Structure 1
Amino acid sequence: MTTPFAGYTRTTLDDRLVNPEAYADESVLTDYATLRAEDPVHWTEPAGFRPFWSITAHADITAISKANQRFTNRQRTYLAPIEAEEWTRGISGDSHLFRTLVDLDDPQHMKLRRLTHSWFLPPNLRKLEAEIAEIARTHVDHMQLLGPDLDFVNEVALWYPLRVIMRILGLPTSDEKTILRMSQEIFGPQDPDVMARSKLLTSETGMAPPGSGNPQVDLFALVQEFFVYFAAVTADRRATPRDDLATIIANGQVDGAPISDLEATSYYAIVATAGHDTTSSTASAGLLQLIRNPPALARLAADPSLLPGAVEEMIRWATPVKHFMRTAAEDAEVGGKTIRAGDSLALFYWSGNRDAAVFDHPDRFIIDRSPNPQTAFGNGVHLCLGLHLARMELRALFAELLPRLKTIELTGEPRNSVANFVSGLKTLPVRVTWA
């Protein structure tokens, strides 16, 4: 009989599940497939990390996500080395430097979420549809002016959703580079290209592997920069309210009292970073798959009615948020395994979105896939707040880009960011001819 994980030791598989390099080269997808087949609820003990249960099957990920009272968010939101967790507690006295919506449980989570919930619903977003289409047009125009050879990630995809986020928050376009840098540093503090651009390097603290001595972005200095920047935004919007999302956040109240500076800054941070980085990664991954599937590209360009379904497949394929953590509030059974109260669970969304029990041919990019119950936006009360905005942005970009393309091809090897939490393409070199 074949033993589970034949070909590797438990330790090496466990280490790969947290290794940012395994996400950059996508080798972790092979490990996910092994786990789904042999041990979909897997006790995981990587070196330097507190142990946790790896949840890799779509059904289990969805069920846990919906059971938000039995599996809570607050204690542990994402995978970080023990050293980093201890450093964070020493700095903040808490398990997090920020307290964003994804770090909170009800009732506080829902009270804060309600401040902006209606703003992100389709009836309100339709007011922005024409403006988002114009921002998309501007960026495709820019792409065309760059000439035939360009890097789609760094010259288009990073900037388009950022411009949308700056618009809805009411932030000046002159601050785009600052927000982009902070977003990349918060999600990829160990990525060598992020470090090469950063002025906030340290070898003393943060997310570096224990004992590595490797430099990386100083997360404490970065969080301080967030607080200074957005404290000024809060003060301005309280003094002179405007018709923007920053005004809603700055003047938000919970239980009749103004939200705290930490809550306000955390709110800005999640909108400005996650709302930008995830859409950028999906747009880039989607274009890459269309380049690699010329018949699908031609079909989509000829039939715009396929675009909503194609966008959903791009989201499934990219799954920019690779995981979130939960903590069991009580003993529970998942996949035949006993989960004890206090145990951590990692919900590996990228694995769930490649689950053959749910998706036919999950490793194929199919623009008219139906049904497509992708789990990249999460489920339950923590369903992504900006999912309708993300879909609108992606539809607008490809609706503008595809009719104007004559040909598009790769001119080099695309590269992914080195990160195990939020990650995606960081280069996509292409050559374009225009219709």
Structure 2
Amino acid sequence: MTPTSCADAAMLADPQAYTDEQRLHAGLTRLRATAPVAWVEVPDYAPFWAITKHADIMEIERADDIFTNAPRPVLVTKANDELQAGVGIRTLIHTDDPLHRDLRAIGANWFRPKAMRALQARADELARRFVDTMVTAGPECDFVQQVAVNYPLYMIMTLLGVPESDFGLMLKLTQELFGNDDEEYKRNVDQAEQATALLEMFSYFTALTASRRANPTDDLASAIANATLDGAPLSDIDTVSYYAIVAAAGHDTTSASISGGMLALLQHPDQLARLQADPALMPLAVDEMIRWTTPVKEFMRTAQRDYRIRGVDIAAGESVLLSYASANRDEEIFADPFRFDVGRDPNKHLSFGYGVHYCLGAALARMEINSFFTELLPRLRSAELAGTPAFMATTFVGGLKHLPIRYELR
């Protein structure tokens, strides 16, 4: 690699790089052109190959028998690799088939079209509630903190069956779980303290499991608590892992898409006007928001045997980082990829992954975003930035953490 591509690849392990989208995408563009499969060695992290081309990521995702999620599903420091292994987390993103397939089946029915239709009224109700909140808070608000983090939180907690009195705690824990690279969200720089949010979430959901087993209810929490695996009830670690991934991934990703979508509309007023004039574009606009923001920045895979991709040999045991942020700006896939286009069609973004690990909650996320903007845009007379947007420092899941806006609503 050239010195420039070395620096660009190393950026993928720098949480601060994701706070500056212009710098990030400039580096990813250079990588796609000069070193699409790049070896990365940086302090505190085990080395890995950075994969930045859309086609290569799809190839690796398809080869799930060769490239496995275990033992390194996401990019974290060596110390956090050891911490996760010690805790024994087994979420959908930590496991491979056949266990992954069996775990996925437990919650699959709750995210199918029939279930989404049943949740549509709740999504619309909450959309009205939080747009009304904007009216009350106006003419200015921090759109992330006052709207975008709460709307999907209420949706996913409704699905799980968590009482509304606990929503605030869940928000705090999920932000700390995904935000321990960000000075504003993390609890403490001490390594032991960074595990506190995870352990508190596990404690909460262990109690929820006991409650649902004693008194089953008609919600996803009860389905998880009373599920079986190979004829036996799920272990404590498996039930808590399931709750944690639904609660955290089902919230932070959608929040990032809604807030990032709002920023994109403000920065592209022609596209905002286009969408307001033609609401039938909303399904396409939703996918463009998801492509544009790419809330899940990467996943990792580990090669189980030697493999050659784009002329580069990856040895058995070596890890690859799948940069979805890069794939979603790949010039070979997207016409004018740095143009925000609410009518983009086709839109082969990889924000939900691909293959057997395709996001279980993709339909729910699309429905929530659609409901929210379908409620907001007809009522939006005017909107503009009222300050500087701020992005979360992360290498995994994230997006805006502050979006000050000034607006007028009907």
TM bracket (short chain): over 0.9
Query: Where do residues 279-318 of structure 1 align in structure 2 (5 Å cutoff)?
Result: 279-318=254-293
**Which one of 21, 24, 27 corresponds to residue 19 of structure 2?**
24
Segments of 5+ residues of structure 2 without an aligned counterpart are none
Query: Could you tell me whether the CA contact under 8 Å between 1:238 and 1:251 is conserved in 2?
Result: yes
Deviates more, 1:345-354 or 1:328-337: 328-337
Query: Could you tell me whether the CA contact under 8 Å between 2:5 and 2:30 is conserved in 1?
Result: no
| 1:396 is aligned to 2:371 | yes
Question: CA offset at residue 87 of structure 1?
Answer: 4.4
Question: CA offset at residue 246 of structure 1?
Answer: 0.2
**Which one of 76, 80, 86 corresponds to residue 76 of structure 2?**
80
**Which one of 253, 270, 289 corresponds to residue 245 of structure 2?**
270
Cα RMSD (Å): 1.3
The residue number in structure 1 matching 2:230 is 255
Deviates more, 1:401-410 or 1:22-31: 22-31
The CA distance in 2 between the partners of 1:52 and 1:360, in whole Å, is: 30
The residue number in structure 1 matching 2:345 is 370
| 1:129 is aligned to 2:126 | no
**Which one of 377, 383, 390 corresponds to residue 408 of structure 1?**
383
The CA distance in 1 between the partners of 2:198 and 2:269, in whole Å, is: 43
Alpha-carbon deviations, 1:183-215, whole Å to 9, x = none? Answer: 0111111211113xx4xx352x26xxxxxxxxx
Q: TM-score, normalised by structure 1?
A: 0.92
Alpha-carbon deviations, 1:256-312, whole Å to 9, x = none? Answer: 111111010000001100100000000011011111111111111121100000000
Q: 1:87 to 1:279 in 2, by over 3 A?
A: closer
| 1:5 is aligned to 2:2 | yes
**Which one of 164, 180, 189 corresponds to residue 155 of structure 2?**
164
The CA distance in 2 between the partners of 1:111 and 1:69, in whole Å, is: 16
The residue number in structure 1 matching 2:66 is 70
How many residues align? The count is: 409
The CA distance in 2 between the partners of 1:362 and 1:153, in whole Å, is: 25
The CA distance in 2 between the partners of 1:423 and 1:292, in whole Å, is: 20
| 1:138 is aligned to 2:133 | no
Query: Where do residues 32-431 of structure 1 align in structure 2 (5 Å cutoff)?
Result: 32-89=28-85, 91-92=86-87, 97-195=88-186, 198=187, 201-203=188-190, 205=191, 218-431=193-406
Alpha-carbon deviations, 1:314-335, whole Å to 9, x = none? Answer: 0000100000000111111111
Question: CA offset at residue 222 of structure 1?
Answer: 2.0
Alpha-carbon deviations, 1:214-254, whole Å to 9, x = none? Answer: xxxx2332222112100111011111111110000000111
The CA distance in 1 between the partners of 2:197 and 2:272, in whole Å, is: 40
Segments of 5+ residues of structure 1 without an aligned counterpart are 207-217
Alpha-carbon deviations, 1:119-164, whole Å to 9, x = none? Answer: 1011221011111111111111111111201010000000000000
Query: Could you tell me whether the CA contact under 8 Å between 2:5 and 2:35 is conserved in 1?
Result: no
Q: 1:160 to 1:17 in 2, by over 3 A?
A: same
Amino acid across the alignment from 1:13? D
The CA distance in 1 between the partners of 2:146 and 2:202, in whole Å, is: 28
Question: CA offset at residue 79 of structure 1?
Answer: 1.2
